[in-house]
Structure 1
Amino acid sequence: MYTVIVIDDSLSMRRILKDIINSIDEFEVIDEAVDAFDAREKIKKYEPDMVTIDINMPKMDGVTFLRNLMRLHPMPAVVVSGEGARGNDIFDDGAVGYIEKPANGESMMSFQARVKDNLLNLTFLLKQYTLKKPKAQITQNRKSKVENNTKNHPDELLKSTPARLGGTKVIAIGSSTGGVESLLRVFKSLPNDLPPIVITQHIPYGFSRSFAQRLDTESALDVCEAKDGMKLEKGKAFLAPGNMHLSIEKKGNEYYTKLIDGIRISHHKPSVNIMFRSVNNVIGSSAMAVMMTGMGDDGMIGIKELFDNGAYTIAQNEESCVVFGMPKKAIEIGAVKDIVHLDEIAQYIIDFSKNLKR
């Protein structure tokens, strides 16, 4: 059972959210807060697994509170707001999810379904967070439920058939918590003459397209949300949609994106493991894999397969990670050739494209 504090100045919205969240087996609202200061005291008291935050609140707006929370007491936070235009920005501020409040006559049943879907999509992250908390804060009942969460292996969706010969160069980047801001920093420094780039960032459905557009605006590269059957071309980058696995396939002498609408792998959809494995299956030793900031171990299996097949693999260092989870796992299993600061990743990608890194 994951504990939640609902933060909203509207009594009716607090009641609605409490009822909806309590109806989900895996979640329980343990208290409510009317503003940021009330929330601060209750977070200290109860140490919840997650909070929901409204944007428009008295005394301190939700975005400012979110930024302070991530700086002083980082924890999973979902923004629940009527300001749809702010949905793209709150991920940069540390939120792990965004749910728009019901509008335009949306039924309560529809809103309930959206809330449930969003929260269940975050259980992979909540598991990691609760396992890092002091054991005394987790009852035996909650602990057993957390540990019983299933985790699907990539074999269940995509078999490993490593390419024996290297193909054209492709750069594959995997990231999760903290990845939105980190990817922006990397892409701002990339030129437009690089080999094709494929990216899997754990991001809720509905925000991958806008994030791809933002990467496109900030970078010299042509960045887009991947669609099925897009040709991999020089100077272009393809971001996995928030609800589909991104893989690649070879047709003749060309390479194309292939979207897979399957089960979650390593708790994720899209999964870095699926993307890395597909790159190894098709490109093999000619690929570069970059493991960036993120919670959990998604991508660990795929990057090890790439490493063993002769691909060039790097991981972001602990100092520059928001969460040193995914890179740490890759390093621990011996799947990484270089450990790199965030601000050096772009240059390593450029050097790889010029055959200066292998």
Structure 2
Amino acid sequence: MARIRVLIVDDSAVIRQVVTQLLSADPGIEVLGAAADPLIAMERMKKEWPDVLVMDVEMPRMDGITFLRRIMAERPTPVIICSSLTEKGAQTTIEAMSAGAVSIITKPKLGVKQFLNDASADLVAAVKSAAAVNPRRLAARPVMPVPEKHSADVILPAPTRPMLKTTERVVVIGASTGGTQALEYVLTALPEVVPGIVIVQHMPEKFTEAFAQRLDGLCKVKVKEAASNDRVLPGQALIAPGGRHTLLRLSGARYYVEVTDGPLVNRHRPSVDVLFRSAAQAAGANALGIIMTGMGDDGARGMKEMATAGAATLAQDEQSCVVFGMPKEAIRHGGVQTVVSLDEIPGLIVRYGRSLG
């Protein structure tokens, strides 16, 4: 098999050197070169176009967002953002994800060299995941070495009885690679009056707050990062915080969320399976479950449990997915009732909220 060709773009000589060494050590990856800024990178790309770019977003001469947009306009290419865990960096990185980047590797302000060495398996895995992306749809990081793969059982037991159907509705959504762009499309298309929504988007800690803030500024519905005891209200979407699981709970006739620590589930925290299982348990037939673009199988078992509990379930179709992994696995597990294009999802959420069934 041909090796994955990677170009590194970062103004730090240390980052360029360390990332080059780490990626070159993998026999399946070829580093074409490393550039100190986007203008140098563009000259290099005229000679040979990479399969994957690994780049910072805060660089001299041309900012990473402008560079990314030029790449996507000229020749859509999977891009991994290597960004610092700062508030400004998080906001800029979310802009990059919206512009087409497919994944985030976080780096600290200090001790970068040691961090990248410690995270070498994640970096290699992110490059290999990015290479599998459908560039026409342009961010699921399989972790290497592979840790024990827990199910949602480590967070909460499987539902034992279905909920009675009521007029109180809730929507739960799971997404991973490509999900930031897909979620932006869906949420910006929604009117103010829709059922309460809870979302798990695989994303590192510190970035989900910036993601929620960006969407809140674009959408008619209110969007915020979820916190424990937040009520699930009509016209509001709650984004599960990176690094923590988010569960749907019911108190009387009111839905709320619980945000909790715990082991990785399907190698993710937050996990779609955890959210979906909690929705099966707390809402049953009063929920709509939607699984969207992403790599892996997180959410497949939880969606099956939701369908068994009487919930309505949708999966995004292959044609509109950046990666048709999570939806494909959910279909294979038998939990998907309807497969739809991304364009159809906003209207179906609105229609679901209007139905009293």
Which bracket does the TM-score occupy, shorter chain normalised? 0.7 to 0.9
> Per-residue CA shift, 1:147-204, capped at 9, x if unaligned?
8554222222222124422363210011111111211111122122222110011122
Which residue does 1:164 correspond to in 2?
162
Q: TM-score, normalised by structure 1?
A: 0.78
Q: Distance in 1 between matches of 2:281 and 2:60?
A: 50
- Alignment partner for residue 151 of structure 2, among 140, 153, 166? 153
The unaligned stretches of length 5 or more in structure 1 are 134-144
Q: Percent identity?
A: 34
Secondary structure of the equivalent of 1:296?
A: coil
Q: How does 1:111-126 map to 2 (within 5 A)?
A: 111-112=112-113, 115=116
Letter in 2 for 1:268: H
Given that 2:170 and 2:197 are in contact with CA atoms closer than 8 Å, whether structure 1 keeps it comes out as yes
Q: How does 1:34-183 map to 2 (within 5 A)?
A: 34=35, 35-37=40-42, 40=45, 51-53=54-56, 55-56=58-59, 62-67=64-69, 72=75, 74-75=77-78, 77-80=80-83, 84=89, 86-95=92-101, 96-97=103-104, 99=106, 102=109, 107=110, 109=111, 111-112=112-113, 115=116, 128=129, 148-166=146-164, 168-183=168-183
Post-superposition offset of 1:319: 1.8
Match of 2:140 in 1: none
Unaligned runs of 5+ in 2: 135-142
Deviation at 1:278, TM superposition (A): 0.5
The more displaced of 238-247 and 83-92 is 83-92
SS at match of 2:190: coil
In the other structure, the counterpart of 1:310 is: 310
SS at match of 1:15: helix
Secondary structure of 2:99's counterpart equals: coil
Instruction: Give the secondary structure class of the aligned counterpart of 1:90.
Output: helix
In 1, the alpha carbon distance for the partners of 2:144 and 2:181 equals 29
CA contact (8 A) 2:201 2:239 kept: yes
User: Secondary structure in 1 aligned to 2:246?
Assistant: strand
AA paired with 1:154?
Answer: A
Q: Residues 340, 307 of structure 1: CA spacing in aligned structure 2 closer, same or farther, 3 A cutoff?
A: same
Confirm or deny that 1:199 pairs with 2:202: no
- Equivalent in the alignment of 2:263: 263
Q: Deviations over 1:226-265 (max 9, x none)?
A: 0011122222221100111110122233222101211111
Once the two structures are TM-superposed, the CA of residue 70 in structure 1 deviates from its matched residue by 5.9
Query: Which amino acid counterpart does residue 79 of structure 1 have in structure 2?
Result: C
Corresponding residue for residue 33 of structure 1: 34
* Structure 2 Cα separation of the partners of residues 176 and 255 of structure 1: 24
Cα deviation, 1:118-145, whole Å, max 9, x if unaligned, reads 7666677556557899xxxxxxxxxxx9
Q: Identify if the C-alpha distance between structure 1 residues 247 and 123 changes in structure 2 by more than 3 Å, giving closer, same or farther.
A: farther
Q: CA deviation at 1:331?
A: 2.1
Aligned partners of 1:17 and 1:126: how far apart in 2? Answer: 11
Cα pair 1:99 1:114 within 8 Å, conserved: no
Is the 1:307–1:313 Cα contact (8 Å) retained in structure 2? Answer: yes
Aligned residues of 1:33 and 1:42 also touching (Cα < 8 A)? no
Map 1:322-341 onto structure 2 (within 5 A): 322-341=322-341
In the alignment, the residues of structure 1 paired with residue 189 and residue 122 of structure 2 have an alpha-carbon distance, to the nearest angstrom, of 32
Cα displacement string for residues 76-116 of structure 1 (whole angstroms, at most 9, x for unaligned residues): 512347973522211112331154673xxxx4x3x456656
Following superposition, the deviation at residue 28 of structure 1 comes to 9.0
* Alpha-carbon distance, 1:38 to partner: 6.5
2: distance between equivalents of 1:62 and 1:177?
20
Counterpart in the other structure of 1:140: none
- How far apart are the structure 2 equivalents of 1:197 and 1:306? 15
Shift of 1:30: 5.1
Distance 1:127 1:162 in 2: 39
* Alignment partners' CA distance in 1, 2:117 and 2:192: 41
Q: 1:80 to 1:353 in 2, by over 3 A?
A: closer
CA–CA separation in structure 2 for the residues paired with 1:118 and 1:210:
23
Among 5, 8, 12, the alignment partner of 1:6 is 8
| Aligned-partner Cα distance in 2 for 1:122–1:275 | 27
Q: CA deviation at 1:353?
A: 1.0
Shift in alpha-carbon separation, 1:38–1:148, aligned structure 2, 3 A: farther
